[in-house]
Chain A
Amino acid sequence: MAGEAIERILVVGGGSAGWMTAAALANRLAGLPIAIEVVESAEIGTVGVGEATLPHIRFFNSALGFDEAEFMRRTRATFKLGIEFRNWGRIGDSYIHPFGAFGTELGGIPFHQHWLRMRASGATVPLEHFSLPIQAARRNRFAHPADDPASLHSTYSYAYQFDAGLYGRFLRDHAEARGVKRTEGRIVDVALRPEDGFVSSLTLANGRRLEADLFIDCSGFRGVLIEQALKAGYEEWTHWLPCDRAIAMPCAGTGALTPYTRATARESGWMWRIPLQHRVGNGHVYSSAFIADDEAESALVAQLEGAPLAEPNRLRFTTGKRRRQWAKNCVAIGLSAGFLEPLESTSIHLIQLAIGHLIDLLPDRGWDPLDAEEFNRVMALEYERVRDFLILHYCATEREDTAFWNHCRTMELPDSLSYKMELFRERGYVVNYREGMFLEPSWIAVYLGQNVVPRGFDPLSEAVPAPRLQAEMSRMGEACRAAAERMPPHRDFLRSIGAAEEAAA
């Protein structure tokens, strides 16, 4: 080995990022003489945004050995088949970005190309008729997907909507049971080694000093280590994603227990609705340049479906990412690494990716700069590709009703995104890369859901004779509808697998 193995890892901050990191490290590094400690302060609240997740969370949970029903009971979780977007392309529009494919390919040609072809010849069947997860979501039904690749039930995946605070608590129990030490305290000072600027120790308000080899900064927006101490720098993306405030406020659930999250576009931003077993999470994400805080709050409160369960929690953020998410002996994970609004539920997934890359690139005390360089390269790519996907939601709009939407509709786009959009406009082609969490079906859902309709389609789709195509399409649509009808209601399914917390049911 080139350097001595690291012996101590200190995780600073105990929100979702901190406890996910601690639990995963304790699990994946089990058997190694590495002590893991989390320092958190009850005085500092956690943001707790990011209650809706992506399907990858299931791999994270199963690697930790979590039992699904127990995890769901403890975090009051519900199932999630996708996100409904309302009023984005035009006021009155609604589409669902599902966790699954649209139709199946025919003659080696992607299904959406056949759909575009039929549409060009006058057919009006909505694309969502060919998505089982959307059909189930629209009916508030849910069942686990099947493993058998021949089954229609294998064409979708799912994620969860949960209480992030309870998830943190659940992870904490798991981590502490595996030897992670928790220290309560507020950090008042960070000491750097004079010779190389590495973090050497932290001092808590009670005077205690904490030392470690590797520091993980999960301290949230502030970036206590990565920014305040190490000045890693921040790349702002507010010119493309102008929202900079959010107000979160839970309320009692009175509507349907939807197996999906809802994101409703508003005059100067958007609102989320995340249904959990015991409450509904609500929030208003907006741009302070276009709407005042009080006005944004009244708008949020006015549309609550049930009694408020907490005071509104106001948050400020700057969309962008840390220039170096790993600097010296400090790795930023979570909001300290960057902020992308929760429009596509990416916060927890970005945490998960960072943890995975950190474990793959776990340093030793030789501190080869290549580890940080590679970590920063792959994480920058992930953030940028999520960023482009988020911008698409704002720029692909016909809304002219407010100054905010006029700005979004006409802003200059990153080259990487305008390039992708032009190829889709031309012929419905989706650009694919090796890295990037959103794949073809996700882009198709948003493009078509927001009326980015291609001028043409893949000419090869015409190799399938029109009568055969019509028959196949009506068979597929009918199969999705029938399969969705056969699924149990979401709430019943939760109960049937023992995932429902009785008091909440």
Chain B
Amino acid sequence: MKLVILGEGIAGWAAAAMLAGALPEPRYTVSLVPTGGPDDSLGPFGPAEAALPSIRELHVRLGLDEDGLIRQSNAGYALGAAFSGWSSAEPAFFLPFGDIGAPLGTVPFHQLAGRLRAAGDHVRFGNFSVATIAAQMGRFARPSDDPSSVLSTYSYGLHLPLGPYARALRDLALARGVRIVETPFVAAELGEQGALAGLRLASAESVTGEFFIDASGPSALLSEGALASGFESWRAWLPCDRAAASGSATPVPPAPYSHVEAGAAGWRRVVPYQGGVGELIVSCSAAADERGTAFEAGRRKRPWIRNCVAIGAAAATVEPLQSTSLDLLHRALARLLRLFPAAPDATSEAAEYNRSTNEELDRLRDRLILPYKLNGRRGEPFWDQLRYMAVPDPLAHKIALYQSRGRVPLLDGDMFEESEWAALFDSFGLRPRRYDARADALPIDRIRHHLASIRSIMLEAAAKLPSHRDYLARSRARESAA
């Protein structure tokens, strides 16, 4: 089977490397056709991405060495994301990669916090996470494998400058025998049955294929342009529609976290990496005259249509407020491999691919809506209006049950866990009306002691970690020694 990928960005190269690594030769060949423009395969959200910890599984699957990436792409490590200007309860808060607190018996940490707060204690979630504490100190090391160590309770992601990262993926794909077509794409060619038959190039030649991957970015040249998949807009809940990306060099050592700051008409994210920072401004054109590339939040109705699967921003345009661009790409590729068709006409596989993709994207949409819905920026028209919007039912149910008793109902497709939802709710000052009755079975001083002891163990452990700068230097040295 001849596979043709459209788009020479991160999404296209990642797909090429992954497919060429997994598909048995010589039955399958993989070619990549460029679109000729800048890389918007993950949306107009450059110039660097703060990838979630799941990126490491992607790299293992791809066979991409992390130390090598740190050296060649100037990537940095990440312990989470700092948010400021969003919440009236917490002017600044941190969403860490890893555990917050620890349960006592069967009672989750946030329920223990509920009991203490009801007794008048002040509990700040951020004080009970190794990732948060280490990020504040500018320290980093990879977590411990020993489950009895407090240093095993956190995780890490990567800050990846997108240009060098795309080059690393391209090198990998080419080494695996992916054929790169030099001339850019002009138009899709349909076969008699209405499926894709080939891609016509600027040279008037064609690249024919049996199965296609559309990695052409938000314009979805194949899925939408040729096959009219349809688009489901999320604009009613996610009104930001402009993105402006820029990068700058700096000698300042990178912080091991990204920073997302809310502004009058949207938000601004800074992703530090070695030798520079990437800045992204995402805004709503109706609320401010910001420059930038236009986009519309939403997803394709059928990401797999006919003999074509859309990935990256061709499948869904998701602002990187939760740093999910690469995670979604990884999930799409893993799902495509699980359902990889034996023949180009694969309606059962397409149905399952679309069901599970759409379910996942809709739950992620809910997660993105939450910070807008709960924002504390009173007196600013853009934000005031968002606070009163009606949200989709599954999100309304999550908010209601959390407010009632601190529980978060997780549905099929939810990619964030209960503790991650609780951390976000808590940061926005949502306080459950009730806490878990089992917390009352514990003597309150035992809960207080539990929290104090977590805090001191974490502080002590974090203080012994190397600085992020030193750890980066060590990673680079490891790679060159190898």
Contact = CB atoms under 8 A, between A and B. Distances in A.
Do A and B interact with each other, yes or no? yes
Interface string B111-128: 000000010000000000
Interface in A1-59: 1-3, 5, 28-32
Given A29-B438, A32-B437, A362-B437, A431 B405 contact: no
Interface stretch (A276-284, A342-350, A456-464): A456-464
A149 to B, nearest CB: 13
Contact of B441 (A32, A377, A459, A462): A32
A148 interface: no
B349 A426 contact: yes
Nearest to B27: A462
A92 B372 CA distance: 62
Nearest to A368: B404
Residue from A2, A5, A361, A460 whose CB has the most chain B CB atoms within 10 Å: A460
B231 interface: no
30 contacts: A1-B118, A1-B433, A2-B433, A3-B434, A5-B440, A29-B437, A29-B441, A30-B441, A31-B441, A359-B438, A360-B407, A362-B437, A364-B434, A364-B437, A368-B404, A368-B434, A370-B401, A378-B409, A423-B349, A426-B346, A426-B348, A429-B348, A434-B413, A434-B414, A456-B342, A460-B22, A460-B24, A460-B340, A462-B24, A463-B24
Given A361-B407, A423-B348, 20 more contacts: A2-B433, A5-B440, A29-B441, A31-B441, A108-B337, A361-B405, A368-B404, A368-B434, A370-B401, A374-B397, A374-B409, A423-B352, A426-B349, A427-B339, A427-B348, A433-B412, A457-B342, A458-B340, A459-B342, A460-B22
A1 B434 contact: yes
A370 B441 contact: no
Contact of A434 (B340, B397, B411): B411
Residue from A366, A370, A377, A456 whose CB has the most chain B CB atoms within 10 Å: A370
Nearest to A464: B24
A28 B23 contact: no
B449 interface: no
Contacts of A423: 348-349, 351-352
Interface in A189-246: none
Nearest to B105: A28
Interface in B411-464: 411-414, 433-438, 440-442
B400 interface: yes
Nearest to A377: B409
A298 to B, nearest CB: 45
B410 interface: yes
B248 interface: no
Contact of B106 (A28, A422, A431, A459): A28
Contacts of B414: 434
A371 B22 contact: no
A213 B435 CA distance: 19
Contacts of B352: 423, 429, 431
Interface residues of B, number: 39
Given A31-B442, A361-B405, A429-B352, A435 B412 contact: yes
A460 B413 CA distance: 25
A456 B343 CA distance: 10
B340 A459 contact: yes
Residue from A1, A3, A362, A374 whose CB has the most chain B CB atoms within 10 Å: A1
A2 B433 CA distance: 6
B23 A463 contact: yes
Interface in A156-183: none
Contact of B404 (A370, A431, A434): A370
Given A1-B118, A423-B348, A433-B412, A460 B23 contact: yes
Interface residues of A, number: 39
Given A1-B118, A371-B405, A32 B440 contact: yes
Contacts of A460: 22-24, 337, 340
A371 B412 contact: no
Kindly list the 9 A-B residue pairs having the minimum CB-CB distance in the complex, ordered from nearest: A31-B441, A463-B24, A462-B24, A426-B348, A2-B433, A459-B342, A370-B404, A32-B441, A456-B342
Contacts of B23: 459-460, 463
Contacts of B442: 31
Interface string B9-35: 000000000000011100100000000
Contact of B338 (A32, A429, A456): A429
A3 B435 CA distance: 11
Given A434-B410, A434-B414, A463-B24, A2 B401 contact: no
Nearest to A3: B434
Contacts of A368: 404-405, 433-434
Interface string B344-369: 00101101100000000000000000
A371 B404 contact: yes
A106 B411 CA distance: 30
B19 to A, nearest CB: 10
B247 interface: no
A423 B341 CA distance: 12
A421 to B, nearest CB: 10
A3 B437 CA distance: 11
Nearest to A113: B338
Contacts of B24: 459-460, 462-463
A62 B420 CA distance: 29
Nearest to A370: B404
Interface in A229-281: none
Contacts of B436: 360, 362
Interface in B59-118: 61, 106, 118
Nearest to A31: B441
Given A460-B23, A463-B23, A374 B437 contact: no
A374 to B, nearest CB: 6
Residue from B401, B410, B436, B437 whose CB has the most chain A CB atoms within 10 Å: B437
B376 to A, nearest CB: 23
Nearest to B435: A1
B400 A370 contact: yes
Contacts of B400: 370
Contacts of A463: 22-24
Contacts of B341: 459
Interface in B357-411: 397, 400-401, 404-405, 407, 409-411
